[in-house]
Structure 1
Amino acid sequence: METGLIELFSALGLVLAVEGALYAAFPAAMRRALAAIGSQPDQALRVGGLLALATGVVIVWMVRG
């Protein structure tokens, strides 16, 4: 498998592991967070998603630089 695909699947696995750990450690808080997200307008979710995307790209750029 190509190195890029290995890194992509490694990153995906890490994201799933962190998210799974949050659900396992704090199930009630995650339920409240998801309920709060459901009541947010689309524009707020879009802005939050773009900020998360930009933050992720900056972190990868800094680490992999």
Structure 2
Amino acid sequence: MHIDWNTLLCALGLAFVIESIPYVLFAERMRPVLRSLSDQPPAMLRGMGIAAMCVGVLVVWLARRMLV
């Protein structure tokens, strides 16, 4: 298996950029949001994480399929 390190690092950098957007645009609102997330049970957080991963895999799959 060949790993395209350039693509992997670009994807990682893009993930950091996308993850930082709410903190830049809604800095004053993020504290209550994070506090409410910390009050959620682990099962709820895990479910949200799995859902986000599924959406991410779907987006990557669709993008790869459309570009081929």
TM-score (norm 2): 0.82
| Structure 2, gaps ≥5 residues long | none
Alignment-mate amino acid for residue 49 of structure 2: G
Alignment partners' CA distance in 2, 1:30 and 1:11: 24
RMSD: 1.5
1:40 is paired with a residue of what secondary structure? coil
How high is the sequence identity, in percent, across the aligned residues?
34
| Structure 1, gaps ≥5 residues long | none
| Aligned residue-pair number | 64
TM-score (norm 1): 0.85
Shift of 1:3: 5.9
Structure label with greater radius of gyration: 2
**Aligned runs of 1:1-65 on 2, under 5 Å?**
4-65=4-65
Divergent runs of 4+, >4 A? none
